Amino acid sequence: MVADFNGGTITSDGGALLLREVEQRTNILHRFSQCFTDHRDQSRIEHSVLTLVSQRVFGLALGYEDLNDHDHLASDKMLAVAVGKTDPTGMDRKSEKDQGKPLAGKSTLNRLELTPVNATSKSTYKKIAISSGSVDDLFVDVFLESHTEIPEEIILDVDATDDPLHGDQEGKFFHGYYKAYCYLPLYIFCGEYLLCARLQTADVDAAAGTVEEMERIVHRIRQAWPDVKILVRGDSGFCRENIMTWCEDNDVDFLFGLAKNSRLGKEIEEELALAKALYQCSGQASRVFKDFCYMTLDTWRWHRRVVGKAEHLAKGSNPRFVVTSLKAEKHEAQELYEKVYCARGDMENRIKEQQLMLFADRTSTHKLQSNQVRLYFSSLAYVLIQAFRRLGLVDTEMAKAQCDTIRLKLFKIGARVRVTVRKVWVSFAEGYPYKAIFTQVMNNIQKIPANS
C-alpha cells in the first residue's frame, strides 16, 4: 500500500454547499455584512466585507475555530465557492504570491475583528467597523421572518454562562462561583432562535443589562406582532425586582426561579413533611407542591405568586421555588413548575451548542470589543445552522440534530473539486453513508426560491 498527498484538489468540507444554498435563500450573511462600515479604498481591495464575514462564519460552522486555520483555508476551492468567489482557483489575485489563494488569510480576517468602532478612512490597516446595534436587530429580524404564522405566545429564555479567560483580556475578573477568570455573556433565546448574545464582564450581576435587552427585543417583536403574549423565563439569577417590575409595567409575564430562604422554607414545612413520609412509604422520590403569595421584607413592591416544590430524594429534602405573574387558573402549581419552568433547561443545550460546538468561548483577543465581534461571528454561525436545521433538515431523521452531529455527518464530506471554464464540478465519494439524507436535505432547500 502506498499513501501520498497527490490526489489533486480534494476537500474535506463538501457539505459547505448546503450552507451556501441556505445563505442564498436567507441572505443572513449578506445582511450581516451590511452591519459593517467599510472605510477601505474600494479600488484596491480583493476581499469584500461579504466574502470576509462569510469565510469566517462558514469556517466556524465547518469546525475551524482559529484564525490560524485560514492560512491553509485560503487555498480551499470549496470554501471559495461557498463564499461566492468568482474565481475559486484564486488565479485572478493581483499579487503573484497570492495567486492560487482565492480567500483571505489570518491577518486580513484579524484586522476585521480588531477594527475599533470609531475607525475612519484615515485609520491604519483596521478600517472595517461593526455596528453592534445593527447586528442585534438582525437576530430579531431573522427570528420574525422565520415564522409563517404569528404565534399566540412566545417564551423568551434568559441566561448567562461563564466564558473562561486564560490571558490578560480587557475586563477579565475572577468569578467566585465559577472559580476562574471569565467573561459572563448574556444570552436570550426563543426556542431555538438566538435573539441576544451580549458579552459582559464577570464583575457584574449575571442579570445586568437584561431589562435593556428585553426592552429592545420586545419592542421589535411587538412592532411586528402587537397581540402576541410574551413570557420571560429564567433561573433564580434573574429574579430581580427591576426585571419583574419592568415585566409587570410592560404587559410581559415572567417565571423565575426563586432562591430558597428560611421564610420560604417555613411556608412549605407541612408539604416537606408529607413528601418525606411519601418517600419513606414508597422508596421513590416524592414531590408535593404548594401555591402561595409571598413578598420579601424590603425589595419587592408587592406580593407575588410563588410555587414551592417540596421534594424528598434519597439524599434528603430538596425544596425549590419559582415566582411568576402567571395566574393559577391557567397554570396550576405542578404543571407550572414541571412543564413550564423546567422546560427552560433546553436553552442550556442551545448555549452549549454555541459555546462548545461553534467556539463562542474563543474570546482571546485583548480588547472586550473585539471579543464581542468574535461572539457575533459565533452567533451568526449558530443562526445560519439553525436556519439550515429549519429549512433543510425538516422531515428527516436529523431534524433535531445538534451542530456537531450536523457538521460530522453532513458538512465534513470528502469531495474532489474540479474547476473548468464554465462550471465547478464537485464529486462526492460513492461510499458516503448519508447520501440519502444529503439528497433529501438539498431537495428541501432547493424547493425554496433563492433570493436575488
331 within some domain? no
3-state secondary structure 235-270: CHHHCCHHHHHHHHHCCCEEEEECCCCHHHHHHCHH
Is 119 a domain residue?
yes
Name the residue with cell 451556501. 20
pLDDT at residue 128 tops 90: yes
**pLDDT digits 0-9 by tens, 11-33:** 999 999 999 999 999 999 999 99
Give helix then strand counts, H and E, for the chain. Answer: 16, 17
Question: Could you report how far apart the first and last alpha carbons of the chain are, in Å?
Answer: 50
Q: Each residue of 380-429: pLDDT tens digit?
A: 999 999 999 999 999 999 999 999 999 999 999 999 999 998 899 999 98
Average pLDDT over residues 58-73: 95
pLDDT at 97 over 80: yes
Under 8 Å CB-to-CB from 197, ≥6 apart: which residues?
A: 139, 185, 186, 187, 354, 360, 375, 376, 378, 379
Question: Is 114 among the domain residues?
Answer: yes
Return the C-alpha cell found at 352.
452549549
Please check whether residue 248 lies inside any domain of the structure: no
With contact defined as beta carbons under 8 Å apart, do 21 and 446 qualify? yes
Q: Is residue 340 part of a domain?
A: no
Beta-bridged to residue 156, according to DSSP, are 232
Residue 184 lies in a domain: no
Q: Which residue has the cell 448519508?
A: 434
Is the Cα torsion angle 154, 230, 336, 313 positive or negative in sign? positive
- Mean pLDDT for 53-78 is 95
Residues in the chain, overall count: 452
Task: Name the nearest CA neighbour of 104 among 122, 128, 121.
Answer: 128
Q: What is the SS3 string spanning 317-344?
A: ECCEEEEECCCCCCCCHHHHHHHHHHHH
The pLDDT assigned to 452 comes to 60
Distance in angstroms (rounded) separating the CA atoms of residues 46 and 203: 42
With 90 as the cut, is the pLDDT of residue 250 above it? yes
Please state, in angstroms and as integers, the Cα–Cα distance from residue 180 to each residue in 174, 199, 237, following that order. 5, 17, 19
Is the pLDDT score of 212 beyond 70?
A: yes
Residue 201: DSSP 8-state: B
| Residue 186 per-residue DSSP state | E
Answer whether 254's CB lies under 8 Å from 260's CB. no
Q: Is residue 329 part of a domain?
A: no
pLDDT, averaged across the chain: 95
Domain-embedded: residue 408? yes
What are the grid coordinates assigned to 39, written together?
472605510
Confidence of residue 451 (pLDDT cuts 50, 70, 90): confident
**Separation CA 182–CA 252 (nearest Å):** 32
Q: How far apart are the C-alpha atoms of 423 and 307, rounded to whole Å? A: 64
Mapping DSSP to helix (H, G, I), strand (E, B) and coil, where does residue 9 land?
coil
Largest Cα span, the chain = 82
d(CA 257, CA 260): 9
Structural domains in the chain (count): 1
User: Cell numbers at residue 97, please?
Assistant: 504570491
Domain, as residue range, for 411: 10-129+369-446
Nearest to 224 by CA among 291, 166, 145: 145
